[in-house]
Structure 1
Amino acid sequence: MDWLTRMNQVLDYIEEHLDQEIDYKELAKIAYCSDFHFSRMFASLSGISLSEYIRRRRLTRAAFDLQRTDIRILEVANTYGYESADSFSRAFKKMHGIKPSECRHEGVPLKAFPKISFQLTIKGDTEMEYRIEHVEFEITLAGKGETVSTNRAFKIIPTLWSKGKKNGFMQELIDMSWKNPKCTLEGVLGVCGKEAAIMEEEFTYFMGVRYDGEPREGMETVVIPPSTWAVFPNVREAWKRLYTEWVPTSGYELANLPCIECYYGPGHKPRHELWVPIVTP
């Protein structure tokens, strides 16, 4: 279980650097995946965002320090990444329910958020549907790209689609799509960057459709080479279960192509799918 070992090494690294600045890129490097995929994978596995996990572990450690030593509150605050005693006090009270100064009183209740560990649990009660698709020819997409912050991608991308629906861009894509289908990768598409391993702080999320003609004014094109894909129904559910259930046991590796969110036309079942580029064994 090399994958599982790497994720637990990430937790060890976090634990050893709670009193230092933690580089999220270094965490992704340890996990051997991109920033983009690592944040989603961590949240899916742990049920908590990476930043929130680190925050809770630091505040847990801060409470221990305050109880066991006579270190000044501001010094403890600075140790765990807070620039002022006020900001530390607000965060501390939000988690523990009391002020930092009060935790030194005997008998006060505190909350300890423990270090987590990842283990593989085999669940046989819910299947994860997928299929393998081989697209043996080049596909040209027409549309528009938007710059997205990698760490906030899963919050920003839904707002891009909402904006596109309001300003008519979504309808324009719909009018261009679902004509002369060449393969099952049809519909309105969301292309996540240039490759599955997104290592930069920002990437381009491209909203478009397969289109063989000249791109319309204000649009650009993206070319997807012949490739192999693992395809999962239900985009949101697929993202949630991809790294916790499918990747660790599938034996496949991600290819150097972008993941694509595919939203189909009326009457199509399923309504949307996640296309994940893979390298076949």
Structure 2
Amino acid sequence: MIHILNRIVDEIELHLGDDIDIDTIAMRAGTTGYHARRMFSSLAGMPVSEYVRRRRMTVAAADLVGDDDLLAIAVRYGYGSTEAFGRAFRAVHGVSHGDVRREGGPLRSQPQLRFRLTVEGSVPMDARIITRPAFRLVGHAARVPLIHEGANPHIQAHIAQLPVEEHARLKSLSDAEPSGLLQVSDDVDPDYTEGAELTYLHGVAVTRETSVPGDLHVIDVPAGSWGVFRSQGPYPATLQSVWAATATEWFPSNPWRLRTGPSIVAVVDRSEDFSTATCELWLPIERA
């Protein structure tokens, strides 16, 4: 995976002024755009789209110091107008392109990324591979923003507004793995951009044959393989650390990649105040 990400970086550098199709680049490198975007975001700390924008504006800054026509520079880096170019430039550098042309800066440069594998592995990851037939996730869904660290207050508010008896009703429907009440994230931005909206479902897994009450939302899940990663410790920090480690440690060293589909968290056990918990993170995977 590391060499694929570096190849993507090289392709981006060669085509900064073009429409960059990450899906096509990833496919040529032997993986999917979905997996490449998720791994890039996890390892680089930014979506690939944001990296492209920063690199374009970094290189464009050097052109602004010269005498090239401003519109020509904007078009060179994929923008149809000086206004659109100016907005992107200010978002990256914090100053206008006019300021740079007159005064030469200040500038915030984005160096070209280079991914390297650091061998750690001092703490083995508790992971297993499971193949499941098609099933359904049923429960109460809401659109919420993605938050990478800490508790998500939007999810907390969504769960808090459910009547206490509704949790018991959902549990009574559960008849498939993963069992019990589940935290489901679906329809996530492929770049995994913080703040982007996703569908969060508080519910349970059921077989395709189970009768589902009409007031519940349903996510149909096709048959396939799952990577199941166990976490135990402070909640949600430990779970989020394990989630990050799947990108930094597990996927680079195993012949699997993410496929499209919901991510599922099953809470196996927890303290009364939910400050600590044992969880299983289910990620949809396929052979790389």
SS at match of 2:46: coil
Determine the structure 1 residue equivalent to 2:171. 177
Number of residue equivalences: 265
More helix by share: 1
Amino acid at match of 1:114: P
Determine the structure 2 residue equivalent to 1:260. 264
Determine the structure 2 residue equivalent to 1:164. 158
Which of the numbers 262, 267, 272 marks the counterpart of 2:279?
272
Deviating more after overlay: 48-57 vs 158-167: 158-167
Amino acid at match of 2:281: L
1:138–1:247 distance in 2 versus 1, CA, 3 Å: same
Give matches, 1:223-238, under 5 Å. Answer: 229-233=227-231, 234-238=238-242
Which of the numbers 43, 48, 51 marks the counterpart of 1:50?
48
SS at match of 2:71: helix
Determine the structure 2 residue equivalent to 1:72. 69
Runs of 5+ in structure 2 lacking a partner?
191-196, 232-237
1:180–1:74 distance in 2 versus 1, CA, 3 Å: closer
Which of the numbers 74, 86, 90 marks the counterpart of 1:89?
86
Q: Is the 8 A contact 2:86 2:97 kept in 1?
A: yes
Q: Is the 8 A contact 2:174 2:206 kept in 1?
A: no
Amino acid at match of 1:248: P
Deviation, 1:58, is 0.4
Distance 1:154 1:107 in 2: 36
SS at match of 1:262: strand
Which of the numbers 109, 112, 133 marks the counterpart of 2:109?
112
Determine the structure 2 residue equivalent to 1:103. 100
1:192–1:235 distance in 2 versus 1, CA, 3 Å: farther
- Percent identity reads 29
TM-score normalised by L of structure 1: 0.71
More strand by share: 2
1:226–1:51 distance in 2 versus 1, CA, 3 Å: closer
Amino acid at match of 2:171: S
RMSD: 4.2
Distance 1:75 1:139 in 2: 54
Deviation, 1:141, is 4.1
Determine the structure 1 residue equivalent to 2:118. 121
The question of 1:241 aligning with 2:237 is answered no
Which of the numbers 6, 10, 13 marks the counterpart of 1:12?
10
